[in-house]
Amino acid sequence: MLLDGKVLSNKIKDELTKKVKNFLVKPCLAVIQIGNDEASNVYIKSKEKACNEIGINFIHAKFEEDVDEQEVINKIIELNNDKYVNGILLQLPIPKHFNQQKLLNLIDKNKDVDGLTDINVGLLFKGNNNLVPCTPLGIIKLLQEYNIEISGKHAVVVGKSNLVGKPLAMLLLQNGATVTICHSKTVNLKKYTEQADILISAVGKKGLITEDMIKDNSIIIDVGINRIDGKLYGDVDFDNVIDKASYITPVPGGVGPMTVAMLLNNVIKNYENNVEKNSR
């Protein structure tokens, strides 16, 4: 059975749209971009479109690759101090000569809608989920929507990125799963994937997960995005795996739409927290 992220994301966006209509002031998301990465341009347009659809104001602060770092720092400080901005996102990747974590950590932890500041990462580790990275959060919501039990299951996460693998492992632990994390140095990947009740691949390598690597009736979450000759592929050999899995996400249309929906959700969550805080 397909885990349809597109259908669920539309449902979430409809709910958020109804909320925003009742707000006295529109929420606002600011995206900071450094350079002109092709994929980033596409993702930012997608975020802007989603914001427009549900009534969130959108700021796109774009800098050239050779911009002085202080100029970017000044923009982050300005957005932190703007009471009408509810979410700030540094679009990754950024050019390598910038100190990525330094810039991320300058973002106000309560506006960090990607959940990537050291403070929010630490809070997630402790189980105090202030703002959580969007893709892992979207995966949990997708599993919950289809009434897939996480507690007591063995979840295997392939990929250890700060954006997906590590925070997802924490969320799965919080939901009662036994978690194994595999990565590029893992010896005999199949040994682990074939034990998984829930297998999540977030590597970015087409066809990495094949039919012989999964067990019958497992749940397969494909986070991989691989663009080849203008077509999108996941990490999973979908056509051969689908009949063996009980649930599987398609690419596109699975995890991707949920990532955007959770970004919108985090902006609205922060907006509501600010309203509550200011009304005390």
- Grouped pLDDT means (10 residues each) for the chain, 280 residues: 96 97 96 94 94 97 97 98 97 95 97 96 92 96 98 98 96 98 97 98 96 97 90 94 97 95 96 74
Tokens at 229, concatenated: 């000759």
pLDDT of amino acid 279: 58
Active-site residue among 4, 112, 114, 197? 114
Q: What is the pLDDT of residue 280?
A: 55
Same domain, 154 and 101: no
* Exposed / middle / buried, residue 46 (Cβ in 10 Å: 0-12, 13-18, 19+): middle
Q: Which of 13, 33, 75, 91 is catalytic?
A: 91
Domain assignment present for 50: yes
Q: Report the pLDDT value the prediction gives residue 275, as an integer from 0 to 100.
A: 73
Catalytic status, residue 114: yes
The verdict on residue 141 lying in a domain is yes
Q: Annotated catalytic, 91?
A: yes
CATH classification at residue 99: 3.40.50.10860
Identify the active-site residue in 13, 47, 111, 166.
47
Closest CA to 178 of 200, 202, 197: 197
Number of domains in the chain: 2
Q: Is residue 238 part of a domain?
A: yes
Q: Using alpha carbons only, what angle is made at residue 173 by residues 188 and 158, rounded to the nearest 5 degrees?
A: 25
Q: Is residue 104 part of a domain?
A: yes
- Catalytic status, residue 47: yes
Q: Which of 208, 205, 201 is nearest to 223 (CA)?
A: 201
pTM: 0.94
**Residue 46 belongs to domain spanning:** 25-108
pLDDT the model gives residue 39:
85
Check residue 10 and give its pLDDT.
Answer: 97
